[in-house]
A = this chain, B = another copy of it.
């Protein structure tokens, strides 16, 4: 069933709900929904309901609540994925797959060995596009929130964000090559509910020794992700899948 994200908070079941603009267009023109049809509505306070269309006017679809959506769709730990700017459309891809796999936020940052240079103009343009991809993927994956996208202009801004998180991890290929495999497991099995975790991934060229030192000196845990060498865009997907397995399936 179709899901729509509303830019409002859910207060109580007597509220009336309205789809306008893009969502109106999607419901009426693309999905050809009619009075009596059901869909899910998702609110800014991570609440979601099943709703029925009661009236359709020239630019608004009116709905009323049928019932709350029960199942928990969000990870018990909030995970932010930070990626050194990769080449081409890889960040778009990470945005889509990361959203499906439960990430709460996506951060891009410049990194020494990154081939791609993301100037101000490119960041503004990409930011809009990435946010749209996250919204669509969140609807498709039945999420109750849309991951927020932040594209940084300096590596230092990333390091300054460390204090917002209880755990900061850095996926480092050299750790993987040396067979390091316990740091990631230790960190994620010790996370508690509602904790905020930041996990940082390098661009195609990996991290410089200086960058790793900077992260480490600011409290990050350097970890490997298994014995095979993963591409820049595959490593975040591995980490999110493993976290979901640990927290949501193993529990």
- Which residues of A pack against B, CB within 8 Å? 71-73, 97, 100-102, 140-143, 177, 179, 181-182, 184-185, 225-231, 234, 237-238, 241-242, 244-246, 248-251
A237 & B241 in contact (Cβ 8 Å cutoff): yes
B73 & A228 in contact (Cβ 8 Å cutoff): yes
Q: A141 touches which one: B97, B101, B228 (CB < 8 A)?
A: B228
A-B pairs, top 3 by smallest CB distance, nearest first, are A241-B241, A242-B245, A141-B228
Q: Given A229-B142, A248-B181, A249-B184 in contact, is the A97-B242 Cβ separation under 8 Å?
A: no
B residues within 8 A CB of A71?
A: 177, 179, 227
B residues within 8 A CB of A142?
A: 227-229
B residues within 8 A CB of A251?
A: 181
B101 & A181 in contact (Cβ 8 Å cutoff): no
Q: A100 touches which one: B100, B184, B230, B248 (CB < 8 A)?
A: B230
Q: Given A241-B245, A244-B238, A245-B242 in contact, is the A230-B141 Cβ separation under 8 Å?
A: yes
B residues within 8 A CB of A227?
A: 71-73, 142, 248
B100 & A143 in contact (Cβ 8 Å cutoff): no
B residues within 8 A CB of A249?
A: 181-182, 184-185, 225-226, 242
